[in-house]
Amino acid sequence: MLLAPNGSGNYSPKSHPECFARSVAAERGWQKDKRVLYIPVVLVISFLLGYLGVGIFGSPDLLVAGILFGGSIFVFVMYLLLTRITRLVKEHEQLEAKMKTAEESARAKNFFLSGISHEMRTPMNVMIGLNDLALKDPGLAPETRDRLEKLGGSAQLLLGLINNVIDMNSIGSNEFVTRSEEFSLPHTVSQLNAVAGAMCAEKSLTYRCTVAEGTGGSYKGDEKRIQQILMNLLSNAVKYTNAPGEVELSVSSDCGDMRVEVLTFTVRDTGVGIDPDFLPRIFEVFTREDGGSTASQGGSGIGLAVTKNITEMLGGTITAESEKNKGSVFTVTLPVTRVRNEAAPEVSLEGRRILIAEDVAENAEIVADLLELEGAESEHAEKGRIAAEMFKSSRPGYYDAVLMDLRMPEMDGLAAAREIRASASSDAAAIPIIALTANALESDIRDTRAAGMNTHLPKPVDADKLYSTLKAAIGRRESERRS
């Protein structure tokens, strides 16, 4: 279901005709208003006729003749000025109408992408979730495990393409927003290593990761975007490297002062390399190197463009070096803030009770099964209204966290979160509410925060990210209680 600009949930095709009608109305309005220019024309003609009349029928009077002649010149100049002013104002009004048309068109496109993103992510959440659950079965036959891993890898590549398209739209429409949140660099690198290592193993490539001494610890920055940048580069390195090749990620830091540091990430590969003539255009959108050893690799031509844009949005830089048939080196530098204080300790999910607000039964079952693997219990509410009522009727501390979908019937997740926060329960302000939704645009993330949710997790759900987010949120809550 696509959202309309009025939030009704049904996008109306009337928006574009309305935009066109506004432009046409502005044009017609000026066709009528330009009649004012007839007034100085009539005055000029009157002055000239009077001047001729005095010269032909009356006695010559230099004073009257001078007044009539001067007046006609004055009115003529006024006519030229009014014509110029009218044209400028008309152009301004038409430009304003076109700008409003473009803005409404951009909003319509944004709502369309939001809707289509949600519709695509919902079935992908089921596929990736079930695939993850199946891979956790220790009794899987090796052949079946291999097929599931390949299925999961392909699904992740498709998800990455969807994310790139959405990010490219967000950047182009100034909807892109960066966040600064505390994150553990070792944990971030560990997640990257798990994915990149699996991709390399599938192609019989050697994968290495080196982290310079003193680089570990906690930082403040946009962890999600940092992972996206590096995952795009690592995916490309694996895609364009054939066995027996190597892919390497190295991480180092340069301490500019006591708090601000610059993290340097370098992705090297021994792949097919990039032609010197194409290298200057490597970060342009919708460009791909044609022919040769790269032609069969495919690609959308937007991954590196998105990577460069995101890097610059974070205040960083990205460079590329390559030699044909010898490999490529991509270097990313990003400014971050070192966190000196100890973060709230993560807790175990064993015995925790999580309220899952989700209208799609399959999604709720997958999340419940993932939580069960960590020893957590869960309860399911298929509507936002039911979730709010279940929380309000429970005793304080009964639920340890709420996983909230956004699009649900009767009451959406945003309204449900607001109702929970506004309730009389002593737990209303402290309960962690985590958005777990296929709505992944930056505007969706801002909406979840405005509704009082603690953080935002996009679907398809990543099991490790789900666990770490819940543990950190519950840990902070308990730490605040003790303090």
User: What's the pLDDT tens digit per position in 384-432?
Assistant: 999 999 999 999 989 999 999 988 888 999 999 999 999 999 889 999 9
**Which carries the bigger pLDDT value, residue 414 or residue 162?**
414
What's the chain's average pLDDT? 78
DSSP string, 331-369: EEEEEEEE--SPPPPP---TT-EEEEE-S-HHHHHHHHH
Q: Which residues pair with 319 in a beta bridge?
A: 331
Residue 448: closest CA among 478, 479, 480, 407: 407
How far apart are alpha carbons 455 and 435 in whole angstroms?
A: 6
Q: How confident is the model at residue 329 (pLDDT cuts 50, 70, 90)?
A: very high
- List the structure tokens of 52: 């001729």
138-142, 378-382, 445-449, range with greatest mean pLDDT: 378-382
Q: Which two tokens stand for residue 372?
A: 């069960």
Global pTM value: 0.54
Hey, what are 348's tokens? 């175990």
The answer on pLDDT for 2 being more than 60 is: no
How confident is residue 441, by pLDDT bands cut at 50, 70 and 90?
low
For 203, residues 6+ apart whose C-beta sits below 8 A from its C-beta are 238, 241, 242, 243
The yes-or-no verdict on residue 222 having pLDDT over 80 is yes
* Percent of the chain topping pLDDT 70: 70
Quote the CA–CA distance of 80 and 75 in Å, as a whole number.
Answer: 9
pLDDT (0 to 100) of residue 129: 80
Is the pLDDT confidence value at 357 over 90? Answer: yes
294 pLDDT above the threshold of 70: no
pLDDT confidence bin for 349, thresholds 50/70/90: very high
What pLDDT, on the 0 to 100 scale, is given for residue 13?
Answer: 39
Question: What pLDDT, in 10s, does the model give residues 85-134?
Answer: 777 777 887 888 888 877 777 667 666 766 666 677 777 777 778 887 88
Residue 317, SS3?
A: strand
